[in-house]
Chains A and B, each alone.
Chain A
Amino acid sequence: MRPTVVPWLYWLRLRKWPVQELLALFGIAVGVALVFAVQVANSSVTGSVKQMVHGITGSSDYALVGRDQNGFAETTITQVKSAPAVAAAAPIILARAAVTGPEDRTSVALAGVTPDFADLNGSLVRSFGGEYGVRLTPNSLLLPESMASRIGVGPGDEIRLDAFGRAQRVHVAATVGSGQVGALADSPIVVGSLSFVQSLTGLDQRVTHILVTPRAGREDEAHESLRQIADDRLDVVPSDNESRLISQAAGPNEQSTGMFAAISMVVGMLFAFNAMLLTIPERRRTTAEMRTQGFSRSQLTTVLVFESLALGVVASLCGLVLGDQLSRHIFPAEPGYLSFAFPVGHARIVSAQDVAIAFGGGLVATLVATSRPLFDVFSSRSVDEQERAADLPSVRVAPHARRLLLVGAAALIAFAAAVLVVRPSWTHAGIVALGIALLLVLPSTLAGALKFAERASHGAGGRLLFVAVFELRANTTRAIALAATGALAIFGSVAIEGAHRDLQRGLDDFGAAYVGTADVWVSSGGDENALLTTPFTVPSALRALSSSEAVAASRFDRGGFVDVAGRRVWLIARQPARRPPIPPGEVTEGDLRDAVARLRDGGAVIASSGLADHLGVNVGQQLMLPTPTGTVPLRLVATTTNLGWSPGTLLLSAADYRRLWHSDDVTAVEIDLNPGTPPAEGRELVQSALAGTSLTAETAGQRLDRIKRLTRQGLDRLSQISRLMLVAAAMAMAAAMSAAVWQQRRRLAVLRSLGFDRGQVWRILLIESALVLAVGALLGAVFGLAGQILATRWVALTTGFPSIFSPAITLAGATFLGVSLVALLAIAAPGYAASRVSPQASFD
């Protein structure tokens, strides 16, 4: 067989069945688009940081890093450069800051660098002071073009810079574009001279990092030298440590969104399968005829595989294009909670891996959806038998087969239940099991529903229902496939959205309890400081406020981020108050009252359970905590959820923090107002005491609203996936039902010949569709509720976030009704057109 014959045969088939091929293409494309868009969104968030880090670190291998935001002595660079194994070293301050222009405010990484960076060859900073053609004046900063444009400034303009609780006006020396720094032009970084940034941040003669390039072949020696210089007060890490930390922090979120995008891919595959189902009899007949003509098995396989691959390639490419649009307009990279600890940009980064996963997934899905005729090629049945089998509609799933499927479904449901109770870490496998169980239960459910409908049709007004039941029974496989598409989509949607709401409820609940310990909160402000980790010096006016009539008490909280065992951990050190430092509901092991008492005594720590597991420490054992004064042992007295910060959380007493960090800086001031002082009034009073600073006073309500807004940013992705999947499923079902209705034309013509008028035929089609939709949607909703239990558990385990389970019955009901109605409405028009079929067609 000549190679040109294969595409020609496919072209002939395309001309005969263009609609079905288009439907299959659409289904696969939607699945690919969802997977791709989610992948790009996820990798853009971490990718932007990785890009920026690499732009700074260049060829350096190691970094000497301070254990808090105050950094360490700049003179350390002399020690580092004098190490024999060190080829080059450059000091830098990297600090969290925010820049504000006329049009917007954005959080950034503030980088203070020296000409030493030329030796490291980082693309963002190698030309510092030289090649750009711009010399940075002592009091100016360099901004990336896209950021400058977003906040509405250009070279020579002024911006407001907020860092370490200080607000200052700074000139923009220049902006750098993609022509100079490539994709880094989208990075959220501003660059200035080290001395200038030191003055901006108040870190006089201090740096936060020293980047080191070892001499070739002497990496271990260089590492050992750095370790000795660090002397357990600093960390020696790979220079791309920031990239690793954000990958770890983003991992759980990426896992959960990735899993749900994968469910979308399966729905897309089912959509394609539905469409292919409509052409299977013809394809099987063609295969049988070709065998009769003498085509060998390998030739037939080549033809069939080519057809699948051709469809898969085109569909996947279309999916990538669609996914590209989705990622730009519907799934933009949202920094969300990660911006609290990392300088996450808005750059959209598409990696080869993202493309490969989505494209490959589309190909596999197409091959699976179109594989049915391949079974005939390798079947031992005679050609004649195959031809006859192709002509028979797929009438029923035999009762014994349905029983076997039910047994399989029961086993899978039992497995899912066991996983939930005995092995929660396998919860994602439980979700998959539940999804498969749903499909296995479908044939029996449909058969049962049709039986019930048949009985109901005995009465007056049931005659059209009777006809619809037997129309569906005449092609059970198609009915099952249609119902399965809707069922799986609704299952996924209810499970995902239900889990989302449970997580959000848990976070909101925690947030309300956490911020409810005070009436007014003072902090450096800014969304990037939502966890109150930016240190500042308490103004004297604020201290004086403690003696005012309106103020009952003030508490000075400390904390920040500390890197522990490859995780950027949120460290909380609150001054004792009447209420415990964390809501009791967040404790997973230990007694909170007892634990708080031990914190007060000193030498104790409360850790999130995920972090404790990662460190291999149980309650009662010692946890080694790296601090600026050295690594210290602290007794673990209780464990908690991660309080909404997925890498993990540690709680210390404020006194221990002061002792170990040697710092009087605070990150927040909690103010209790006396009874009778409205919170808004109290807030204004406090804000007036902050005049001349960049500090912000918020009521507890305001702070909670801000936290809710920020947490929703990241979790809303789950809702978006859920909604898109539903839309795709409704469209898929409507399109597949329309095509199926069209394929039914001959049977409809028989009905017309037998005397059924157009209106009756149309109503029969609507009843058929309603039956299929109802079974699929109802089953999907019920399983979705069960799936919600697993999905909530899985997302909570993966992310470590607090969650509060509440069965999403209203959501399930609304989804069931919504999808059913939409699909039914969508099929009304094609059904009407099909009902006008001429009785002549019954003689075709």
Chain B
Amino acid sequence: MTVLELDNVVKHYEAGDETVRAIDGVSLTVEPGQLVALYGPSGAGKTTLLLLAGAMAVPDAGTVRFDGTDLSGMSVTETTRFRRSTLGFVWQKFNLYPLMPAIDNAGFKLLAEGATRRQARAAAAPWLERVGLSERAEHPPERLSTGERQRVAIARALANGPRLVLADEPTGNLDTRRARSILQLLADVSHQDGVGVLLVTHDPAAASFADRVHTLSDGKLVTASGSTGAEVPAAAQRGS
């Protein structure tokens, strides 16, 4: 079943006297094990799209479905539970806790589910190993490189076994070499563990790691392409 489906979604904001259509009739899907990259210049609506996908904003028109369930009808408590159990987030600025060991950072979100610290660490350990940082498990972020910090953030996003990971410019603070390694990691996790990944990025290198690439401009999808790089008209996407 399609993990995430946006169907003709519209979202607008009031900015002073103007109404800005941040998302203007966008439709896209993310399948399990698929990495979808979303390009666009600043102000194109990428982050808004991510917020809609993460049930942090409600569309003004259209639907957002997760595993077939419409997210817009959920209460605050339900959306919290939804995020806790089925989503993972990766931010550009990592949002790790300073001074907290990497393994505790990685298992952090499991505390929200009621896990003890010991249980959270145990659950996070394999993911930390998966991202190649098991030997630095007790290191706080201050003693990790930027690339390593992002790896810890990815481990955190995966620690609860999510169905979908939403990544907002995860390589924005990284140099080219580290950025590529992060993208590779996300792609590997997506393909090997069947996790859907929706990646918002400016990084052109993402195209070679993504299964599908969308370009957003002024709230509209202007192009979509498969991993081969061939253009896939946006209109053709609505049917899938």
Contacts and interface: CB of A to CB of B under 8 A. Distances in A.
Contacts of A127: none
Contacts of A756: 80, 84, 111-112
A154 to B, nearest CB: 69
Interface in A732-766: 747, 750-758, 760
A755 B83 contact: yes
Nearest to B115: A463
Contacts of B77: 757
B117 A396 contact: no
Contacts of B50: 843
Given A754-B109, A757-B80, A840 B116 contact: no
Contacts of A457: 117
B51 to A, nearest CB: 6
Interface string B75-118: 01100110111000101000101111000100011011111111
Contact of A843 (B76, B83, B168): B168
Contacts of A816: none
B54 A755 contact: no
A676 interface: no
Contacts of B91: 750, 842-843
Given A466-B111, A753-B56, A754-B83, A474 B116 contact: no
Given A395-B98, A753-B83, A755-B112, A839 B117 contact: no
Given A466-B111, A755-B84, A839-B54, A750 B95 contact: yes
Contacts, number: 90
B47 interface: yes
Contacts of B99: 395-396, 470, 473-474
Interface residues of B, number: 36
B74 interface: no
A838 interface: yes
Nearest to A751: B112
Contacts of A466: 104, 111, 117
B205 interface: no
A467 interface: yes
Chief secondary structure at chain A's binding surface = helix
A462 interface: yes
Given A474-B97, A757-B80, A758-B76, A462 B116 contact: yes
A751 B51 CA distance: 15
Contacts of B109: 754-755
B117 A752 contact: no
A751 B83 CA distance: 11
A193 B84 CA distance: 93
B47 A843 contact: yes
B70 to A, nearest CB: 19
Contact of A462 (B57, B117, B156): B117
Contacts of A294: none
Contacts of B95: 747, 750, 842
Nearest to B57: A840
A459 interface: yes
Nearest to A750: B95
Contacts of B97: 470-471, 473-474
Contact of A760 (B112, B142, B156): B112
A448 interface: no
A751 B188 CA distance: 27
Nearest to A749: B56
B160 to A, nearest CB: 8
Nearest to B98: A395
A460 B99 CA distance: 22
Contact of B98 (A463, A467, A473): A473
Nearest to A474: B98
Contact of B100 (A459, A470, A753): A470
Interface string B22-64: 0000000000000000000000000100110010110000000
A842 B47 CA distance: 11
A760 B111 CA distance: 10
5 contacts: A395-B99, A754-B156, A757-B81, A843-B91, A843-B168
Given A754-B84, A843-B168, 19 more contacts: A463-B111, A463-B117, A464-B111, A466-B104, A467-B111, A470-B99, A473-B97, A474-B99, A750-B95, A752-B80, A754-B83, A754-B112, A755-B84, A755-B113, A757-B77, A757-B112, A840-B57, A843-B47, A843-B56
Can you list the 4 inter-chain pairs with the closest CB atoms, starting with the nearest? A755-B84, A755-B112, A463-B111, A754-B109
Interface of A: 393, 395-396, 457-460, 462-464, 466-467, 470-471, 473-474, 747, 750-758, 760, 838-840, 842-843
